[in-house]
Chains A and B, each alone.
Chain A
Amino acid sequence: MTRTLLWLLAGAVLGGIIHIAVILTLPALADRTIWTRVEGLQARNKIVLLPDVKPGEANPFSLDPALSYGLCQLDLAEGPAFVNGIMPDAFWSMAIFNRAGTIVYSTTNRDGIGRTLQLGIFNANQTRLLAQQQIDIAEGLLIVEAPSDQLFVVVRLAPPHQAVRARFETELSKITCGPKQ
């Protein structure tokens, strides 16, 4: 009896090890990652609007139907990246994702930025050059240091009514994004 219990206990311990291994390796084993989905959008160095979520249709990015989304893929190996635009007067927010789909930086218009989106994204090396004043940047630029080179930026915009949605999305698509300031 004790012997059986010991075997079962060993099984439970082994199960715990399997569990930890599954949880830790799952992100590496997934083949349809957020990065492969983003690559499919062809949004390198430009803002691409994500299609609106409609009832009954697939929603692979788990988007909120009330919001409009702009996405832009960046590679800091090409140099520091800049995201510039004037946003419509409504709630908006932005997040910078790394390759693994983890958010390295996020902010909203309520953090005192107002309607101007003016962001510079630098890797560790470029931040050092920036500190040594070897990179010229515009005044008032919001500086973000990113831990890795391959990133994508998601800008969320919440049109207050459906009627203004098309106009707001036009404004959203005017955002510039890429290595040019």
Chain B
Amino acid sequence: MFHLLAMIVVALSVGFGLSWYALTDGRLFGVLQAGPWAAWPDVGSAEPNPYTRAHLARVAGLQLGIGEGLQFTAAADSDGMPLTRDCTYRIQGKTPVAAFWTLSAIGPSGVNLARPDGTATIRSTAIARSNDGAIVLYVGKRLAPLNWLELTGNGPFSLVLTLYDTVVSSGISSAQTTMPAIIKEECL
């Protein structure tokens, strides 16, 4: 009797736990990982794999087609610590080749967290860059120099980097995907 109960507990926790993990983190299940950034690479293909299909059903949003671009999200900084609105983050480095990209901050339910009467998203064509083309962006509630995405509220958040018309979706391996780093600056 004890054995049967133990087996059922193990079966249920493995079955549902693994499913939940596959659709939230998904690192072992075909999610493209580049530093803190993650993307479902076949989300825009005509024949997505079963995990991507389940992810699509869960989100029920309008994803980008494989020819249109690819969306990356990050819920942690480059050191693996969860992103929180108590801190300011510096996003620095280079992005993969794309027609343009946008960067937004969203809360757990997908709500945009920018200041209501400010800019909702940073767009690559409207930022100050250094001479070598690298980007330096600041995300947080405290006033920051150069390119600043001002957030409101408290609690965790995720960054969404959407690359439009990018080479990433045309089969370049994750090893060659250079994504900017997310570095924690001062915290409140």
Contact = CB atoms under 8 A, between A and B. Distances in A.
A147 to B, nearest CB: 8
Interface in A71-89: 71
B53 A27 contact: yes
Interface residues of A, number: 62
Interface in A32-61: 32-34, 37, 53-61
Given A23-B50, A93-B65, A7 B6 contact: yes
Contacts of A71: 62
A164 interface: no
B61 A60 contact: yes
Contacts of B188: none
A16 B7 CA distance: 12
A111 to B, nearest CB: 7
B83 interface: no
A103 B11 CA distance: 35
Interface string B8-51: 11111111101100100000000000000000000011111011
Nearest to A95: B65
A60 B43 CA distance: 17
Q: Would you call the interface of chain B mostly helix, strand, loop, or mixed?
A: mixed
Contact of A106 (B67, B100, B106): B67
A102 interface: yes
Q: Would you call the interface of chain A mostly helix, strand, loop, or mixed?
A: mixed
A16 B15 contact: yes
B140 interface: no
A138 interface: no
Interface in A11-26: 11-12, 14-19, 21-24, 26
Contact of B64 (A18, A37, A95): A95
B65 A11 contact: no
B165 to A, nearest CB: 5
Contacts of A69: 62
A106 B14 CA distance: 37
A159 B150 CA distance: 22
A15 B13 contact: yes
Contacts of B104: 64-65
A95 B9 CA distance: 44
B102 interface: yes
Contacts of B58: 26, 30
Nearest to B49: A23
Nearest to B54: A26
B187 interface: no
A14 B15 contact: yes
A43 B70 CA distance: 26
A91 B99 contact: yes
B121 A19 contact: no
A154 to B, nearest CB: 5
Given A27-B56, A56-B152, A34 B3 contact: no
